[in-house]
Structure 1
Amino acid sequence: MRFKNFDYVGASRYFYTFSIILTIAGIICLAAFGLNYGVDFRSGSNVDITTSKQLTEEQLKPIFSKINIDEEPDVTPGADRVNVRFHQVLTEPQDQALRAEVLKLDKNASFEVNTVDPEMAKELGQNAIYAVLLSCVGIIIYVSIRFEWRFAIAAIIALMHDAFVVVSIFSILRLEVSLTFIIAILTIIGYSINDTIVIFDRIRENLRFAKLKKHSDLVELVNKSLSQTIARSLYTALSVFIAAFFMLIMGGESIRMFSLAIVIGLLFGAYSSIFIASPLWLLLKGKNVGKTGTAKPSKSQV
């Protein structure tokens, strides 16, 4: 595959447009509907029932009216497993009644109940936000020290783009957000910054020996740097994507949303490093290069 003559900087405008449209749609959807929080982030009880035969949602619905719950739960049936997510914390009598009624349908059924009270749900939500913010701050500090502030700004905007796109898609499609989703977001951030750093490192290396007299020289340098690293970026993304995709289609229900978030994040992370982060650095750096003037020195050129 040859990528030498492709204008990555010129093509980035289409990716910017697509990302802006998706971001706006995500903001509107988040403002109107918010996220579909799982039991980890809101109080309630999550019951996993392992069965010896398949139980349908129609078989389970009459049970919920017998145990006196305020809101009908979300039921996810499977071949030998049923997940029931209650929007309230089950009391001891309700829990016992649920077990007794399910055992009437399948005497070999076993139960695993996870309960989150309101205070714990609030604390988990706050800690998840802190984890994402602290990781972003750490990345900003690292990139600023290793490169320069323009690289840091471009990298963090690309990272926030990747994370927000995944959040937006989950909001638009009303997919469940749980603790595994937060782990997926942190994984995506780590993968994306790794890919971005490789590209930035090549840009910095080429920048040391470049003679920038015009803005077009800087554009050519970025395109050259991307052409030198894009094969590695695509092959790495593809290999990780294949593993994540098969984990999505063959993994269990408990990791399905995690796998889906990883797959989405990999796709957007692969193009954001190339078509978002690098052109954004060019936009910031280009202010130091006039159309006929010379580049102002920076510590990345030292």
Structure 2
Amino acid sequence: MSRLGNFSTLGNRLYSGETAVEVVGRRKRWFASFGIVLLLAVLGLGVRGLHFSVDFTGGSVLTVPTQSLSTTEATSIAVNNGVSAPVVQQLTVTTGGAGHEVTVTTPVISATTENTLKADLAKAAGISVNSITVQTVGASWGHQVSKDAIEALIVFLVLVTIYLAIFFEWQMAVAALASLLNVIVITVGVYAWSGLEVSPATVTGFLTILGYAIYDAVVVFDKIRENRKQFVDTDRLSYNRAANLAVNQTLMRSLNTSLIAVIPVIALMIGGVLSEAVVLQDIALALFVGIAAGTVSSILLAAPLLVWIKERNPSVAAHTAKMRAKAKKEAARAASGAEDAQVQQAVPVGAPDPGPVGAGTIKIAGRVPAPGSGTPQREVQPRGNQRPQPRSNKKKR
């Protein structure tokens, strides 16, 4: 119960500054980590590449209702008919009774090849040729979809950059844009390594997660701006310390928001796997990877990158050096005061003298001078223990 209680109050302790997670001070570590992840994502694009759906490349989708045809057999039939790199999937359907469907996605092929392929698939599945449905997508339409998706992404990034530059600072706009590009590359790299198709549903989920990513960054930047006015402008904290405090103050909020958002995404992903609905799997994976990457980037990349950019400003760098010098003086003063307090606690000022500490020593304000220090030494008799004076031998007259 005590651990649960401590966890429940963690957000309050982070917000008040009682405890802190060092984020800004370890920015080199985070930059190196993100660099490695980005390198892996780029390698995924170079080695495996992206598999675009027929909606982008153009081609035909042949749907074969069957109980016996396997994906291996369908792939072999498509290759034997001269189809290059066919994408074959098996789906479970409930329309007209429980059964299966095998979809064969091909590039743009001639009408003769398409008819021959349909006949061979129908023969292998034991059904009539008319039972196979064909959906054809032209290459020009797929090219237009790709162009529109890229234009939508560019417009989104430009509008976000302009908004942050106007209502916040241009440095924040640059940091947020770098964080968004990081999320884009990581998500694309995951899709490259996974081998899943990039479909319009993927693009929809992709654009959605960019909204989550920029939301987290804006929350952190708004708190940094507030802390700058409250702590930096009043010479209470340096800019990097105020930024780190802002990250800690918004940490629990960002994590809770992302956790609540990712729970239905996980449910959507599980539902897509169980129902073998490829569209659900595509959009769920894009949302899951994007939310996770956006949350981590807004915490460990956006704020540290903003501080790194701001410290290139001579005035911010000078203020940071000033605050560091001030902190060192306060630390030295505190250490000196702690040393005095320890000595005074050992020998309280005004307390009865327990006796000479050493031959011919004297205590001043609770301190014992070191031998040979040049301080006049005299023996001080303890109070209440005065030596008796010798009586005079003279008689009174």
TM-score by length of 1: 0.85
Q: Distance in 1 between matches of 2:25 and 2:136?
A: 52
Distance 1:227 1:42 in 2: 46
Is 1:43–1:89's contact at 8 Å kept on the other side of the alignment?
A: no
Q: Give the alignment partner of residue 153 of structure 1, picking from 174, 182, 189.
A: 174
Q: Are 2:198 and 1:169 equivalent residues in the alignment?
A: no
The counterpart of 1:7, out of the listed 15, 18, 22, is 22
Contact kept, 8 Å, 2:213 with 2:298, in 1: the verdict is yes
Is the counterpart of residue 88 in structure 1 residue 103 in structure 2?
no
Instruction: Report the counterpart of residue 140 of structure 1 in structure 2.
Output: 161
* Separation in 2, partners of 1:144, 1:112: 52
Cα shift readout 1:91-133 (whole Å, capped 9, x = no counterpart): 2772586178438736599655432222222222222111111
Contact 2:75/2:86 (CA < 8 Å) preserved in 1? no
- Which position in structure 2 is the counterpart of 1:60? 74
Could you tell me how far 1:89 is from its partner in structure 2?
Answer: 3.5
The one-letter code sitting in structure 1 at the alignment partner of 2:103 is N
Residue aligning to 1:272: 297
How high is the sequence identity, in percent, across the aligned residues?
A: 27
Greater relative contact order: 1 or 2 (C-alpha under 8 angstroms, separation 6 or more)?
Answer: 1
Given the superposition, is the C-alpha separation of residues 244 and 112 from structure 1 closer, same or farther in structure 2, using an over 3 Å criterion? farther
CA distance in 1, matches of 2:196, 2:235: 48
Partner residue in 2 for 1:298: none
Letter of the aligned partner of 1:87 in structure 2? P
CA distance 1:73–1:274, change in 2 (3 Å): same
**1:40 counterpart SS class:** helix
Cα deviation for residue 63 of structure 1 reads 4.4
Change (3 A) 1:14 1:215: farther
- Bigger drift between 103-112 and 189-198 goes to 103-112
Please, which runs of 5 or more residues in structure 1 have no aligned partner? 295-302
Aligned-pair Cα RMSD in Å: 2.8
Counterpart contact for 2:84–2:107, Cα < 8 Å: yes
1:71 aligned to 2:91? no
Instruction: Say whether the 8 Å CA contact 1:71–1:87 is kept in structure 2.
Output: yes
**Unaligned runs of at least 5 residues, structure 2:** 1-6, 93-99, 324-397
| Greater gyration radius | 2
| Structure 1 residue runs of 4 or more that deviate by more than 4 Å after TM superposition | 106-112, 212-216
Alignment match, 1:300: none
CA distance in 2: counterparts of 1:279 and 1:32, whole angstroms: 31
Give 1:196 deviation, angstroms: 1.1
> What is the count of residue pairs matched by the alignment?
292
2:206–2:287: 8 Å Cα contact kept in structure 1?
A: yes
Give how far 1:153 is off: 0.6
Quick check: 120-129 or 204-213, which moved more?
Answer: 204-213
Deviates more, 1:273-282 or 1:11-20: 11-20
TM-score normalised according to structure 2 size: 0.66
2:208 to 141, 164, 187: 187
Cα distance 1:126–1:61, how it changes in 2: closer, same or farther (>3 A)?
Answer: closer
User: Is 1:119 paired with 2:113?
Assistant: no
User: 3-state SS of the aligned residue for 2:135?
Assistant: strand
Q: CA deviation at 1:221?
A: 0.8
Instruction: Answer yes or no: is 1:256 the counterpart of 2:270.
Output: no
Match of 2:321 in 1: 292
Evaluate the alpha carbon distance shift between residue 242 and residue 103 of structure 1 in structure 2; reply closer, same or farther with a 3 A threshold: farther
1:219 aligns with 2:240: yes
* Alpha-carbon spacing, 1:112–1:184, altered in 2? closer, same or farther (3 Å): farther
